[in-house]
Amino acid sequence: MTNYSIIANAVSRLDSNSTESRKDLYKRARALLVDQLRKRQPPATDGEILRERIAFDDAVHKFESELTSRERHGGEKQSAVPIPEQVRQRRVFEQLPPQANEPRGRIELSQGKAAITLLKAADSSTVMHLSSHLWLDELVRDTARPNVPQALKDDFRTALARRRQGQGHRRDRA
C-alpha cells in the first residue's frame, strides 16, 4: 500500500474531513512514521528517515491537491493558490557538518516566513545552505499557482527528484 492510499484511507475514516482534522492526522502519521523507522532493527539512518518523510509529504501534497481540485470543481469556494500542507506547517532544518553533531545553523519556515539562525559552528556555506531550504519552500508555493510556466514545474520536479535520491540534504536534520 502506498503512502497516498494510506492517507486517502485514513482521511476517509475521519469523523470530520476538515482542513484542521486532516492537518492533525498528517502530523500524527508523520510522527508515527519517524518513530517506527527509528525503532526498526537496524534503525533507519537520518538519510532514510528524511527520504521517507519527503515521500510521505509528497503523498500528502498530491492528496491535498487532488482534494482541492475536486472541491473546486464541485463548486465549493477555495483559495486561489492552494498551498501544500507541508509548506503551511512549521518546519526547522539544521545544517550539520560532516563528522559532527553540532549544527552550524538552522532555518525555521512557518506561515510564509523564514528565520535563519547562525550558530557558533557557522561557516561561509551556512547561509547559502539554509537559504536553499527557503528557495525550495518558495518553489513549492510557486508551482501551486495557476498558469505556472512549464520550466518552473520542470525545476520543481528536478529538485524533488534530487532530494528523493538523497543529494544535497544527507546531513540535514528536519
Q: Where are the alpha helices (DSSP H) in the chain?
A: 3-12, 19-39, 46-73, 85-88, 126-143, 150-164
Classify the C-alpha dihedral 156-171-125-105 as positive or negative: positive
Query: Which residue positions in the chain have pLDDT lower than 70?
Result: 1-2, 70-90, 97-100, 111-112, 163-174
Grid cell digits, residue 14:
475521519
In angstroms, the CA 150 to CA 141 distance is 15
Q: Give the residue among 15, 55, 11, 65 at the shortest CA–CA distance from 33.
A: 55
pLDDT score, position 59? 83
Each residue's pLDDT tens digit, 111-159: 667 788 888 888 888 888 888 887 877 777 777 777 778 888 888 888 7
- The pTM for the full model equals 0.43
The cell 503551511 sits on which residue? 88
In angstroms, the CA 33 to CA 27 distance is 10
pLDDT score, position 72? 61
Classify the C-alpha dihedral 148-149-153-155 as positive or negative: negative
pLDDT score, position 5? 75
In angstroms, the CA 29 to CA 57 distance is 11
**Count of CA atoms in the C-beta half-sphere (13 A) of 80:** 1
pLDDT score, position 86? 52
